[in-house]
Amino acid sequence: MEEEIFELSDLEYEQLNSKYPHGKGSGLIGFRSEEIIKLYFRRKYPDCKFSKPKNGADLEVIGLPNSFSYFLEVKGTADSRIAWQKLKVSSEHSYKMLTEEKIPLYRVTSVFDQNLSIYILKYEEDFILEPEPRWSIKKKNYNIDVRDVHGENQGIRGDRKMSSKYLPLTDYLKDQNGDEITFLFSDAQKILGFSLPKSAKQYQAFWANQADTTSRPWAKAWQDAGFYVESFRLSGEDGWVIFKRGRK
């Protein structure tokens, strides 16, 4: 996995903010990320050009040394880290380009900051793809048994595969650096892929730390990540929970 630290000039940053401002919808992240990648390549190869290919890749770079054309997938995030749990591939064409053509995936982090990182990820070296309604990108050392991906050999990793839709919460918490993480109810959709149920916003029992999580997959999710609930506020979409690393 390669990481490139990239700093936008004041003018570049101003132009990006004008064209793709923060807070105008998550859809802008993709467009902003592609513009950042273009700036990144232009800085290295001033004469290069870009096109939108029809083969499923996000971007084609033309005019690189020793290369007729260079195809790549671009994924951006406002997070300061890769945020594996949010990496998804929804297009069949993109899936084939990543897995068959082995095009690189450029992950732009801190996409709304002037100082950011660009990670260059390669299929099978840095990540794999799990079939879902969309393909979920997972860090390569995730240690999945390949047979599970196709629905066989459920006994080996059936607990992980079958446990619940709250697994993104486990991945999200594991991906954080701090010992105390504030989880906003309003962020549930982008972190989990769905809004929290009404019970999570109305009843304290939902956030109880209990040893038996057999029928409480949400509690299992934060406990599997090595966290417990320190405190919370139930206030509809304005609510929040503070997770603390360790066991209570």
Indicate the residue type of 242.
I
Residue 205 lies in a domain: yes
Residue 72 lies in a domain: yes
pTM of the complete model: 0.55
Domain range enclosing 232: 163-245
Residue 156 lies in a domain: no
Contacts 24+ apart (CB under 8 A), 198-207: 201/234, 201/235, 201/236, 201/237, 201/239, 202/234, 203/234, 204/232, 204/234, 207/232, 207/241
Residue 157 lies in a domain: no
Q: Is residue 29 within 8 Å of residue 111, measured between CB atoms?
A: yes
Residue 155 lies in a domain: no
| DSSP result, 125-138 | TTEEEE-SSSEEEE
Indicate the residue type of 217.
P
Asked if residue 144 and residue 47 are part of one domain, the reply reads yes
Residue 134 lies in a domain: yes
Number of domains in the chain: 2
Q: Beta 69-76 vs 105-109: how paired, if at all?
A: parallel
- Which segments of the chain have a pLDDT < 70? 24-26, 132-136, 138, 140-164
Residue 124, Ramachandran bin (φ over 0: left; ψ between -120 and 50: alpha; else beta)? left
Residue 158 lies in a domain: no
Residue 222, SS3 per DSSP: helix
pLDDT for the residue 143 = 46
Can you tell me the distance from the alpha carbon of 230 to that of 247, in angstroms, rounded to the nearest whole number? 10
Final residue of a structural domain among 83, 115, 149: 149
Asked if residue 92 and residue 214 are part of one domain, the reply reads no
Asked if residue 86 and residue 188 are part of one domain, the reply reads no
Can you tell me the distance from the alpha carbon of 136 to that of 87, in angstroms, rounded to the nearest whole number? 6
Final residue of a structural domain among 149, 175, 209: 149
What CATH number is associated with residue 46? 3.40.1350
Asked if residue 23 and residue 100 are part of one domain, the reply reads yes
Asked if residue 204 and residue 169 are part of one domain, the reply reads yes
Asked if residue 228 and residue 111 are part of one domain, the reply reads no
pLDDT for the residue 216 = 84
Asked if residue 174 and residue 77 are part of one domain, the reply reads no
Final residue of a structural domain among 115, 149, 183: 149
Q: Is residue 217 within 8 Å of residue 161, measured between CB atoms?
A: no
pLDDT for the residue 66 = 78
